[in-house]
Amino acid sequence: MENFKVNSYYEGLIQNLYGGSRGCFCCFMQFFYQYNRAKLFNENLAGCFEELYLLELENCKILSEIIIKIGGDNKYFSAGRKFLSGSNVQYIKKFEDAFLEDIELLEYSILEVKSGISKIEVFRIKQLLQDVLDNKKLELRKLKEDFFKIEKN
């Protein structure tokens, strides 16, 4: 990835997408938690959660690289330096409720990424954020498909 000009405004926007309380790394932690529970309690759902956390891990990689290239530090905190922790994860035991929480989380994330794209003028950064957005839309579609499968049963 090419270098970008140092830009603290862009850094703040992307830092929130990356390490904010509802950012990609939080999504990763939540989906990974649910994956591990599904492996023990509902093996049929494990594949869904695995796909979700792997896509979020890719999102984290993309955002981390952008942050570093614009002069930031890819620590796990928001633009306001509020550190991300396990307390940001929704530890929901019932999978139907977890799906609903995850859908809400991804819908929020999609809006945040779209907002970030609209505020950034560097074409290459916009392209990379579009990759993150595409991943999140895929995740949301997957979540909804799998949620409706378990609702029918």
All structural domains of the chain: 8-152 (1.20.1260.10)
In percent, the amount of the chain with pLDDT more than 70 equals 97
**Percentage of the chain surpassing pLDDT 90?**
90
- pTM for the model stands at 0.94
CB burial of 21-48 (b: ≥16 within 10 Å; e: otherwise) equals ebbbbbbbbbbbbbbebbeeeeeebbeb
Mean pLDDT of 69-98: 92
- Report the pLDDT averaged over residues 58-87: 94
Give the per-residue pLDDT at 149. Answer: 78
| pLDDT at residue 151 is higher than 80 | no
What integer is the mean pLDDT of 59-75?
95
Residue with tokens 């603290």: 8
Residue 138: left (phi > 0), alpha (psi -120 to 50), or beta?
Answer: alpha
Whether residue 54 is predicted with pLDDT greater than 90 in this model: the reply is: yes
| Predicted local distance difference test score (pLDDT) of residue 1 | 52
Here the tokens at position 19 are 């390490």
